[in-house]
Amino acid sequence: IPQSEIPRLSTLYHAKRLIPSSKPPQRRASSTLNTRVGLIRSEITKLSLPNGAIVSAANTALLNGGGVCGAIHNAAGRGLLAECLTLNGCETGDAKITGAYELACRNVIHAVGPVYSKARKTNEHASLLEGCYVAAMRLAVENGLDTIVFPAISTGVFGYPSYEAAEVAICTVRDFLEREEERGGGGLRLVVFCTFESRDEIAYIELLPNYFPPA
Which residues here bind ligand AR6, judged by CB under 6 A?
A: 43-45, 57-59, 65-69, 71, 113, 151-158, 194, 196-197, 200
Output 73 or 174, the one with its CB closest to ligand AR6: 73
HSE value, Cβ hemisphere, 13 Å, CA-based, for 5: 7
Return the biggest CA–CA distance within the chain.
Answer: 49
What phi and psi values does residue 41 have, to the nearest 5 degrees?
-105, 115
Nearest-approach distance from CB 76 to ligand AR6, in angstroms: 12
Output 37 or 58, the one with its CB closest to ligand AR6: 58
Nearest-approach distance from CB 79 to ligand AR6, in angstroms: 18
Output 33 or 203, the one with its CB closest to ligand AR6: 203
Nearest-approach distance from CB 120 to ligand AR6, in angstroms: 15
Nearest-approach distance from CB 64 to ligand AR6, in angstroms: 7
- Checking DSSP bridges between strand 49-57 and strand 37-41, what pairing results, if any? unpaired
Instruction: Report the length, in residues, of the chain.
Output: 215
Output 5 or 28, the one with its CB closest to ligand AR6: 5
Nearest-approach distance from CB 127 to ligand AR6, in angstroms: 16
Helix segments in the chain, DSSP class H: 9-14, 31-35, 67-76, 78-84, 122-142, 162-182, 198-211
Output 176 or 196, the one with its CB closest to ligand AR6: 196
Taking the C-alpha atoms of residue 152 and residue 134, their distance in angstroms, rounded to an integer, is 14
CA 155 vs CA 133, 135, 149, 195, 196: distances in Å: 14, 18, 16, 11, 11
Kindly give, in sequence order, each residue whose CB lies less than 8 Å from that of residue 183, ignoring residues fewer than 6 positions away: none
